[in-house]
Amino acid sequence: MSLASIELRDLKLQTEIGTYGPGTIIPKQHLLDLTLWIDAKLVLISQDVMENVFDYDPLIIEIDRLAGDCHYETQERLITRIIEACARYSEIKAMDIGLRKLPVRAESGSLGVRVSVDSLTLNNFRPH
């Protein structure tokens, strides 16, 4: 099977992550990068109709909902919840996800977590 990717970069999430004490730098932005690996037949199409492609809009709406759903202590928990949401789509065969916050220090730098999820790991998140 040939694979294609759908790439989402630098999506600003409206979320609260972490606990910060006095004098610590509170991140101003949380940015999501997401690459979804899907069957290439959902990209190499003969007719220009939505039924022939993967509709990613509902997933983006769900990611926005998850980001604002609660206060997160860690970036890792939000990433895990996004992976769980992606696992509900059988069209997604594997994925890469990264979430970073900025600034880290003195109005500069970003700090993030990135994970690649293969088909076996993704299947562990799928409803049985």
Class for domain 3-125, per CATH? alpha beta
User: What is the per-residue pLDDT for 4?
Assistant: 97
Per residue in 80-115, pLDDT tens? 999 999 999 999 999 999 999 999 888 899 999 999
CA 73 to chain centre: 17
Q: What percent of the chain has pLDDT over 70?
A: 100
pLDDT average, residue stretch 50-68: 97
Q: What is the rounded CA–CA span in Å between residue 113 and residue 17? A: 13
Give the confidence band of 21 by pLDDT, cuts at 50, 70, 90. confident
CA 115, 117, 118: angle at the middle one, nearest 5?
A: 145
